[in-house]
Structure 1
Amino acid sequence: SDFLYFAAEDDTIAVIDAGQTMAEVHKDILALLQIQDW
């Protein structure tokens, strides 16, 4: 399946399944940002 790659400001890479809805992707991105915000 296809994957979307998001490069965060700290150069970490988030891999998100392109099959997800935009709402799910948005939720995943927010969760990743919260995790990386330590």
Structure 2
Amino acid sequence: MFVDARAIVSMMAGEDTADSYEAALLEAPSPFTSTLAA
């Protein structure tokens, strides 16, 4: 699962979509992102 910057920002900011992103990340077998987003 590719994690883009908007998902990371959403979780850091505590936005409404943060919970669904967090759940998807916890269930993903191997989440990854680009070095620019990290």
Q: Which has the higher contact order (CA 8 A, sep 6+)?
A: 2
Q: Does TM-score exceed 0.5, indicating one fold?
A: no
Question: Which is richer in strand?
Answer: 1
Question: Which is richer in helix?
Answer: 2
Q: Give the structure-1-normalised TM-score.
A: 0.36
